[in-house]
Amino acid sequence: MTVVIDCNIFVMCLTSRSPYHIIYKHLISGKYDLAVSEEILFEYEEVIQQKYSISTANALVALLKELPNVHFHVAYYKWLLIDADADDNKYSDCAIAGNANYLVTEDRHFDVLKKIDFPKIATLSIGEFAALVEKI
């Protein structure tokens, strides 16, 4: 299973005190594949620096670059599916380029994807994804 994970989801699952930490643990153990782009990785780094620390952000980025189940994709075509926050299009474009099964997000801007027949991008909430990875 390949997923694209919105930055806010990563922020919520990094700490071991989070009820969603299983998402991070299962990524590290290779239970699912993560599709990312350089743009997404940059946002992860930027936001985690603000929420945690520079060292935490650097460690996460280094780890993601080394994990064999993290796959980098270049979205050569920009679909522009999300109008409410154009910056979120990097996630939907990566999901399409990486042939992801799911895009995991809590951001309501992604709700528009449920109404689009092509290209089809299935979204999951953090709770839905945590429940799914627990079964893996």
Condensed to tens digits (0 to 9), the pLDDT of residues 32-62 reads: 999 999 999 999 999 999 999 999 999 999 9
What average pLDDT does range 114-121 have in this prediction? Answer: 92
Indicate whether 136 pLDDT > 90. no
Count: domains in the chain: 1
The boundaries of the domain holding residue 121 are 2-134
Q: State which H helix or E strand residue 35 sits in.
A: strand 33-36
> What pLDDT score was predicted for residue 120?
94
Q: What is the dihedral of CA 21, 24, 30, 36, to 10 degrees?
A: 150
- Helix, strand, or coil (residue 70): strand
Q: In this structure, what CATH number is given to the domain that contains residue 47?
A: 3.40.50.1010
